[in-house]
Amino acid sequence: MQKVALLDRWFPHPFVSFLVFLSWLMLSHSLDLTDILVAILLAIIIPRLVGPFISRTPHIHWTPAVKLFFVVFWDIIVSNFRVAKMVLGPMDQLHPRWYRVPLETEHEEVNTLLAMIITTTPGTVSAGIDQERGDILVHALSSDDTELDIQEIKKRYETPLLEIFDVKIEEGASK
């Protein structure tokens, strides 16, 4: 038990420590012993300094998180080509639309990450989360079927986010 407390004291936020360690090595472009020691030192000091500003990270399921990362990464690549084709093509082919994506939960991390994913995927922009209405306002550069777009967002992004954060949705509670 004492060992766990010591480890928690040295690495209060292990993921942040790992990111700092990895970032330093990438920035230094070196695996010299001195760079590794500096990376370890920074990985210990920085998370301890910013510790009061970091709330405890919620428990997440890593397998669906990694899968979602690759889905989003792929969608960003494909969307870039689609948007380039639309923008360079005839303007009368564009059908810009505003629509609302209803949220399945009030879970802050799920909804924030969903809005971020929508915004980072070219061709769509999340205008904001409306907590009172329980939805995200989305602008699409071009959409022929907003209902299909909404279902695609929910299936590809929201459902995996619910799984990642282990959020249970009650039957009939869908908004």
pLDDT digits (tens, 9 = 90+) for 106-158: 998 899 999 999 999 988 888 889 988 999 999 999 999 999 999 999 999 99
Residue 56 has pLDDT above 80, yes or no: no
Confidence of residue 68 (pLDDT cuts 50, 70, 90): very high
Residue 146's Cβ-side half-sphere holds a number of Cα atoms within 13 Å equal to 13
Strands, DSSP E only, in the chain?
Answer: 97-102, 124-130, 135-140
Residue 102 has pLDDT above 90, yes or no: yes
Instruction: Give residue-wise pLDDT tens across range 70-80.
Output: 999 999 999 99
Among candidate residues 124, 156, 120, the one with its CA nearest the CA of residue 137: 124
Confidence of residue 53 (pLDDT cuts 50, 70, 90): confident
The rounded distance, in Å, linking the Cα atoms of 115 and 118 is: 5
Residue 34, pLDDT score: 94
The DSSP code for 55 is P
Residue 10, pLDDT score: 79
Residue 55, pLDDT score: 72
Q: What pTM did the predictor assign?
A: 0.72
Q: Considering the chain, what is the average pLDDT of its residues?
A: 89
Work out whether strand 124-130 and strand 135-140 pair parallel, antiparallel, or are unpaired: antiparallel
Residue 17 has pLDDT above 80, yes or no: yes
